[in-house]
């Protein structure tokens, strides 16, 4: 499955080059849809027909779509996912230790040992469901990702540029969070990350203690930073130094409930993709949900 928009539109060309170099791809079924809905439909058909390996060529959103299709098909224990990361962020590949070179990543996707990782099942109160495998977030992350998607020229600094621009306009919104049923936070929100992987935003080390297969999500919340300090504090998130700052709260849980009463409609960012949700959303860790070739 190739995301035509990934890598600033280079993903299809990268796949064709890989197919010429790797004979085993000659028989591969290529899914390069124009929409996420079309991709889900075609993946569902292929999985129902017995597909045993799905290769996602794109970023975190591409893996989320492929992995979500596998789980929706009830095939998490028999299908192996591979990831060739050519997206703008591709932070899940960092946590998995995958190479950025496409040919080296393809070798891992085809021949690497299968590792099982957790998934985040994201359920809105109206019953709609999505999956996340790296980080689900709220707050400033949604306008940042929207800005990145709208950029004609992205590059490695896309997320940093979008974050700096968003900081100038963003106003903290009300938020409440429960961890495993216990009230954990209620107040204004700058960033909330429910993390399975360690980084988002192309290398921002938002949850450096997170593990992909420990059965829990790391909750990291940042709020109450004076506006004049925002740009000064931003570099800390690239090193994990924000965890020791007084405006940061950290927790771990199997189930997280998030309410965003100050946003209409509420939006969560799931692996870089916007999920318009409801007032309250539940995120549940599904342990060792999918198999990934590493």
Flag the least confident range among 40-44, 143-147, 184-188, 238-242: 143-147
CA distances from 6 to 21, 60, 86, 90, 128 (A): 20, 10, 6, 10, 26
Backbone angles phi, psi at 53, to 5 degrees: -140, 130
SS3 at position 98: coil
Flag the least confident range among 146-155, 211-220, 233-242: 146-155
Does the pLDDT at position 50 exceed 90? yes
CA distances from 221 to 138, 146, 177, 218 (A): 9, 20, 10, 10
Read off the pLDDT of each residue in 168-177 and give the average, rounded to a whole number. Answer: 83
Ordered domains of the chain (ranges, CATH): 6-112 (3.40.50.10330), 129-287 (2.60.200.40)
SS3 at position 162: helix
In angstroms, rounded to a whole number, what is the distance separating the alpha carbons of residues 160 and 269?
17
* Confidence at 93, pLDDT banded by 50, 70, 90: very high
Contact 294, 108 (CB under 8 A): yes
* Confidence at 231, pLDDT banded by 50, 70, 90: confident
Q: What is the 3-state secondary structure (H, E, C) of 43-80?
A: HHHHHHCCCCEEEEEECHHHHHHHHHHHHHCCCCCCCE
In angstroms, rounded to a whole number, what is the distance separating the alpha carbons of residues 208 and 200?
11
Average pLDDT value over all residues in the chain: 90
Q: What is the pLDDT of residues 96-141, one digit of tens each?
A: 999 999 999 999 999 999 999 999 999 999 999 999 999 999 987 7
pLDDT for 67: 98
In angstroms, rounded to a whole number, what is the distance separating the alpha carbons of residues 70 and 17?
26
Read off the pLDDT of each residue in 215-219 and give the average, rounded to a whole number. Answer: 98
């Amino acid at each position: 499955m190739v995301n035509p928009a990934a890598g600033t539109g280079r993903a299809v060309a990268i796949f064709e080059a890989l197919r010429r170099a790797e004979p085993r791809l000659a028989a591969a079924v290529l899914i390069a849809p124009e929409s996420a809905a079309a991709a889900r439909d075609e993946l569902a058909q292929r999985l129902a027909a017995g597909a045993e390996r799905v290769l996602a060529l794109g970023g975190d959103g591409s893996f989320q779509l492929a992995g979500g299709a596998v789980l929706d098909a009830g095939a998490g224990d028999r299908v192996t996912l591979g990831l060739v990361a050519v997206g703008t962020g591709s932070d899940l590949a960092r946590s998995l230790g995958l190479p950025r070179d496409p040919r080296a990543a393809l070798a891992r996707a085809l021949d690497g040992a299968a590792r099982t990782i957790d998934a985040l099942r994201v359920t809105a109160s109206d019953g709609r469901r999505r999956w996340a495998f790296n980080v689900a977030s709220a707050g400033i992350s949604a306008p940042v990702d929207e800005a990145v998607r709208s950029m004609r020229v992205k590059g490695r600094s896309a997320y940093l540029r979008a974050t700096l621009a968003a900081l100038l306009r963003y106003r903290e919104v009300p938020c409440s969070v429960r961890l495993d049923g216990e009230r954990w936070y209620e107040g204004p929100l700058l960033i909330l990350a429910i993390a399975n992987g360690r980084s988002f935003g192309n290398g921002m080390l938002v949850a450096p203690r997170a593990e992909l297969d420990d059965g829990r999500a790391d909750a990291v919340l940042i709020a109450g930073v004076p506006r004049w300090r925002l740009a000064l504090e931003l570099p800390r998130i690239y090193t994990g130094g924000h965890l020791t700052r007084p405006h940061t709260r950290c927790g771990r849980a199997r189930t997280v409930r998030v309410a965003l009463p100050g946003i209409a409609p509420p939006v969560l960012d799931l692996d870089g993709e916007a999920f318009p949700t409801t007032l309250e959303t539940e995120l549940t860790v599904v342990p060792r949900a999918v198999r990934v070739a590493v």
